[in-house]
Amino acid sequence: MKKSVDTQLIGLRCEHCGQQKAALLGWLKEHDELACDCGQAIVVRANDLVDAVKRADAAQRRVMFSPMADQAFV
């Protein structure tokens, strides 16, 4: 079964504390910001999502060649 890019985890860096947060691409499309543990919000920019979709697409292709690739996102 082909995975949708919406189920790909996308990493976003908090500008306030530098922490890397991950969220599903499908979720990010529906939200403008992601709450960080430091109490600030990470603004989700459309440009970031475009790049993220490209990276997710490339990652999906790698999955076809490497069964371990999926686990790299955990």
Structure tokens at 40: 């600030």
Say if CB 48 and CB 27 are below 8 A apart. no
Complex with Zn ion: residue 5 or 36, whichever CB lies closer: 36
Residue 17, interface with Zn ion (CB under 5 A)? yes
**How far apart (Å, rounded) are the C-alpha atoms in residues 73 and 9?**
7
For Zn ion, give the closer residue by CB, 17 or 50. Answer: 17
Applying CB under 5 A, among 5, 10, 12, 14 the residue interacting with Zn ion is 14
**Residue 16 C-beta: closest distance to Zn ion, Å:** 4
